[in-house]
């Protein structure tokens, strides 16, 4: 596996929207993709909350510990990098034993994947809000272009993604997890393209699956460049989208 193939699933997260498409919610077409649970502002309240009883169940305590561990690990991974962050340090900073870490995660690799999923969840929410907040195709693309201009290639998490991707060269499990995300993401992008073009009543010039691959690759390249040079012009991203789907 090449490094490029493994970096793909990390630099462009899966959009999971709640819009109508020919009488259906777009989320129905994206069923099974990760990150949906994080998009609380886009969903109706489901009523389920953590128990408010004084004595939490074991499952609730473990869930709270998991959230805390991910939060602490996120700060450390982003500040110090993947290699310099140990599970011992994460456990100590979070106020738990190292055993508590292993009761929630199989190891540092799984913990880092959870952190990356949390980072992507925020990006997913922002992208989804950009599309949900506009009606016309041009307005949607403009909103997405503005998101890319301000958010694509954030230096700290881009560096973490690149560093963690290198782990996959010697870890088959990590490679499998990253490639699974790649497959989900490209499929989700293609579905979003089909939704946007159907809503606008236009026929895309290129097959949505191929367009998704093009946009995916362009997003990766621009994100990596911007991590090195903040002045990198990312407006070409929106221009390319317009050219491919108009």
pTM: 0.71
CA distance 118 to 10: 12
Residue 30 tokens read as 């994206």
Residue 3 confidence (pLDDT):
41
Q: Find residue 24's DSSP bridge partners.
A: 21
Q: Which of 225, 216, 228 lies closest to 11 in space, CA to CA?
A: 216
Residue 66 confidence (pLDDT):
93
Residue 42 confidence (pLDDT):
38
Residue 222 tokens read as 């621009």
CA distance 172 to 156: 25
Residue 45 confidence (pLDDT):
36
CA distance 92 to 107: 16
Polymer length of the chain: 246
Q: Which of 1, 17, 12 lies closest to 212 in space, CA to CA?
A: 12
Residue 34 confidence (pLDDT):
58
H or E element at residue 49: none
Residue 194 confidence (pLDDT):
85
Mind listing the pLDDT tens digit of every residue in the chain (246 residues)? 434 444 434 443 443 334 444 444 555 545 555 554 444 433 333 344 444 445 678 788 888 899 999 999 999 999 999 999 999 999 999 999 999 999 999 999 999 999 988 887 777 677 767 766 677 888 888 888 888 888 877 778 888 888 998 988 899 999 999 888 777 778 878 887 888 788 888 888 899 999 988 988 888 788 888 878 888 888 888 888 888 887
Residue 88 confidence (pLDDT):
95
> Where in the chain does DSSP place strands (E)?
20-21, 24-25
Burial class of residue 56 in the structure, from the number of CB atoms within 10 Å of its CB (0-12 exposed, 13-18 middle, 19+ buried): middle
CA distance 76 to 81: 7
């Amino acid at each position: 596996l090449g490094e490029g193939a493994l970096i793909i699933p990390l630099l462009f997260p899966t959009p999971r929207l709640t819009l109508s498409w020919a009488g259906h919610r777009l989320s129905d077409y994206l069923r099974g993709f990760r990150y949906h649970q994080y998009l609380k502002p886009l969903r109706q309240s489901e009523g389920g909350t953590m128990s408010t009883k004084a004595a939490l169940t074991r499952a609730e305590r473990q869930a709270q510990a998991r959230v805390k561990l991910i939060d602490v690990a996120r700060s450390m991974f982003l500040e110090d990098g993947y290699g310099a962050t140990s599970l011992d340090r994460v456990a100590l900073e979070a106020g738990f034993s190292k055993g508590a870490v292993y009761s929630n995660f199989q190891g540092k690799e799984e913990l880092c994947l959870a952190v990356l999923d949390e980072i992507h969840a925020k990006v997913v929410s922002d992208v989804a809000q950009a599309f949900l907040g506009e009606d016309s195709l041009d307005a949607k693309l403009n909103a997405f272009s503005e998101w890319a201009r301000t958010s694509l290639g954030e230096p700290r998490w881009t560096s973490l993604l690149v560093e963690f991707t290198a782990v996959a060269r010697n870890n088959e499990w990590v490679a499998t997890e990253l490639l699974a995300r790649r497959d989900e993401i490209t499929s989700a992008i293609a579905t979003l393209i089909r939704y946007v073009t159907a809503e606008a009543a236009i026929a895309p010039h290129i097959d949505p699956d191929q367009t998704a691959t093009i946009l995916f690759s362009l997003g990766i390249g621009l994100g990596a460049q911007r991590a090195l040079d903040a002045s990198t012009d990312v407006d070409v991203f929106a221009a390319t989208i317009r050219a491919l789907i108009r």
